[in-house]
Amino acid sequence: MDRSAESLSRAIGMRVNQERKGRGWTLDQLAELAGVSRRMLVNVEQGGVNPSIGTLLRLSDALGVGLPALVEPPALRAVKVVRAGEGAVLWTGPSGGRGILVAGTESPDVVELWDWTLAPGERHESEAHSDGTRELLQVLEGSLTVLIESEGHELNTGDALTFRSDVPHSYVNPFALPTRFTLAVFEPGVGAGHRAENTNA
């Protein structure tokens, strides 16, 4: 891990630990709710691993805080400016592509804004998000293929796509030039299921 990735991993680990302890949950309880192994959770909390976006989404949903809350400190201000280069790099491709979370809102209805680049031949596979999640994306440079379950959609510069992302989906660049796209993710009711379970316990 480079220094910025190491710093981000430590910040995520501290936030997960803080949120878990604030709820009085053991490592085993959070691991079970999130569907991750206890070992992975320990590594995340210790900042010793750069967790996948899928793992972060499972943890954020289990904690009911939304992904943006795990990668940045709590903000007391009504306005937050993220300067160029300050977004959280949560995915790095083998040829230099990056998935950067540049902004997000708090739960329960979480909106995330991403800046993605995929080098030629790169692909990012995403597991199904929670029920009701929607994504909107627009290609800013190059071309992109979005696979939603088994259906492919080829997009060129300026094209946009809206889809339900509560099914498996992938972003693929099978072309000879890099592609860049902006992505907004709307995830309603983050953590609501777990809150309901805890209320009824």
Q: What is the pLDDT of residue 197?
A: 40
Closest CA to 171 of 187, 140, 150, 148: 148
Q: What is the pLDDT of residue 200?
A: 36
Q: Quick one: 180 and 96 in the same domain?
A: yes
CATH number of the domain to which 121 belongs: 2.60.120.10
C-beta neighbour count of 35 within 10 angstroms: 12
pTM, two decimals, is 0.73
Q: What is the pLDDT of residue 152?
A: 96
Q: Quick one: 57 and 21 in the same domain?
A: yes
End-to-end CA distance of the chain: 41
Q: Quick one: 92 and 57 in the same domain?
A: no
What residues contact 130, with CB distance under 8 A and at least 6 apart?
Answer: 57, 61, 166, 187, 189, 190
- Please write the tens of the pLDDT for every residue from 56-93: 888 888 888 878 877 776 555 567 788 888 888 989 99
- What residue numbers bound the domain in which 22 lies? 3-75
Q: Quick one: 106 and 176 in the same domain?
A: yes
Residue 198 has pLDDT above 50, yes or no: no
Higher-pLDDT residue of 74 and 125 is: 125
Q: Quick one: 165 and 94 in the same domain?
A: yes
- CA 171/CA 192 separation, integer angstroms: 28
Q: Quick one: 106 and 145 in the same domain?
A: yes
Residue 20 has pLDDT above 80, yes or no: yes
Strand 144-148 relative to strand 179-187, pairing: unpaired
Q: Quick one: 125 and 58 in the same domain?
A: no
Q: Quick one: 50 and 96 in the same domain?
A: no
Q: Quick one: 59 and 107 in the same domain?
A: no
Alpha-carbon Rg for the chain, nearest whole angstrom, is 17
Q: Quick one: 139 and 162 in the same domain?
A: yes
Which of 22, 47, 75 corresponds to the end of one domain?
75
Q: Quick one: 112 and 70 in the same domain?
A: no
On whether residue 127 sits in a domain, the answer given is yes
Q: Quick one: 137 and 183 in the same domain?
A: yes
On whether residue 50 sits in a domain, the answer given is yes
Tokens found for residue 59: 């943890």
Within 3-150, strands assigned E span 88-92, 98-104, 110-118, 123-126, 134-141, 144-148
Which of 22, 51, 75 corresponds to the end of one domain?
75
On whether residue 81 sits in a domain, the answer given is no
When divided into structural domains, the chain yields a total of 2
Which of 50, 75, 100 corresponds to the end of one domain?
75
Please tell me whether residue 24 adopts helix, strand or coil conformation: coil
- Please write the tens of the pLDDT for every residue from 33-51: 888 888 888 888 888 777 8
Q: Going edge to edge, which strands form the sheet with 179-187?
A: 88-92, 98-104, 110-118, 179-187, 134-141, 160-164
CATH number of the domain to which 52 belongs: 1.10.260.40
- The β-bridge partners of 112 are 104, 185
